[in-house]
């Protein structure tokens, strides 16, 4: 997919909880910085002060704390703040922005797994966000291993891990389907390997994309 505007590029990592997105985002940022790029590393939910406050409401507490509809509104509010204050300014300044999750997570988590709310997710995205990444790396891996890794961290941010293993299996299917729906900008990367091996694949894909 051709870059949208300006010289900046917007790259995202997606995948189930514990799949290695944060690890790979950091490794890619290091690689690109060493190659002389100006990089902004960010994450969702969060990535701007207000959005980080909303993050706490979303990732902590009881799994049933919010209805799926309320969750979609909160994630979208956080994303709008992130877009306005972090993503668009970085793109306009010609930087490479790497985000650990973005709108594809809402499509999969809220849109496909907890009731058929995908149409609502897409409508709200069109109204309030209206921007897709230039390139998306989907880290695919065995949900049971990923769940063990994620829970082993015991970060206190386990609200979604607490939905259980079946939920993580559905999420994996959701991300693989998403890759089929957006073939131009998505690459599925096998996450069942050592972090360095995965990082080498990711670096190759991104370097090819950047030309």
Q: Which residues bind ligand ADP (CB under 6 A)?
A: 15, 17-23, 149-150, 153, 194-195, 198
Residue 163: name its binding partner from ligand TYD, ligand ADP, none (Cβ under 5 to 8 Å by kind): none
Structural Rg of the chain based on CA atoms: 16
**Least distance to ligand TYD, CB of residue 150, Å:** 5
Q: CA-CA distance, 150 to 136, in Å (whole number)?
A: 21
Question: Helix, strand, or coil here: 140?
Answer: strand
| Site membership for ligand TYD, residue 105 (CB under 6 A) | yes
Q: CA-CA distance, 172 to 170, in Å (whole number)?
A: 5
Which sign does the torsion angle of CA 193, 105, 182, 47 carry?
negative
Residue 23: name its binding partner from ligand ADP, ligand TYD, none (Cβ under 5 to 8 Å by kind): ligand ADP
Q: In what order do the strands lie in the sheet with 96-100?
A: 39-43, 96-100, 9-14, 135-140, 186-190
Residue 31: name its binding partner from ligand TYD, ligand ADP, none (Cβ under 5 to 8 Å by kind): none
**Least distance to ligand ADP, CB of residue 67, Å:** 24
Contacts with ligand TYD in 165-204 (CB under 6 A)?
A: none
Residue 101: name its binding partner from ligand TYD, ligand ADP, none (Cβ under 5 to 8 Å by kind): ligand TYD
C-alpha closest to that of 100 among 12, 176, 30: 12
C-alpha closest to that of 97 among 55, 50, 38, 137: 38
| Site membership for ligand TYD, residue 160 (CB under 6 A) | yes
Chain residues that interact with ligand TYD, rule: CB under 6 A? 17-18, 21-22, 44-45, 59, 75, 100-101, 105-106, 109-110, 150, 160
């Amino acid at each position: 997919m051709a870059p949208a505007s300006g010289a900046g590029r917007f790259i995202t990592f997606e995948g189930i909880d514990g799949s290695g997105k944060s690890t790979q985002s950091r490794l890619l940022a290091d690689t690109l910085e060493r190659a002389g790029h100006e990089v902004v590393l960010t994450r969702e939910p969060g990535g701007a002060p207000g959005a980080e406050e909303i993050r706490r409401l979303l990732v902590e507490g009881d799994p049933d704390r919010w209805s799926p509809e309320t969750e979609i509104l909160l994630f979208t509010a956080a994303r709008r703040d992130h877009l306005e204050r972090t993503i668009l300014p970085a793109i306009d300044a010609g930087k490479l922005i790497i985000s650990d999750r973005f709108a594809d997570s809402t499509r999969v988590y809220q849109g496909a797994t907890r009731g058929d709310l995908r149409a609502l997710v897409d409508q709200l995205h069109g109204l309030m966000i209206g921007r897709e990444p230039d390139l998306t790396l989907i880290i695919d891996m065995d949900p049971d291993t990923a769940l063990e890794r994620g829970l082993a961290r015991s970060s206190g941010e386990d609200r979604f891990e607490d939905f259980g293993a079946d939920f993580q299996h559905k999420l994996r299917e959701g991300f693989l389907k998403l890759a089929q729906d957006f073939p131009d900008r998505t690459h599925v990367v096998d996450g069942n390997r050592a972090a360095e091996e995965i990082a080498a694949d990711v670096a190759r894909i991104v370097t090819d994309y950047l030309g």
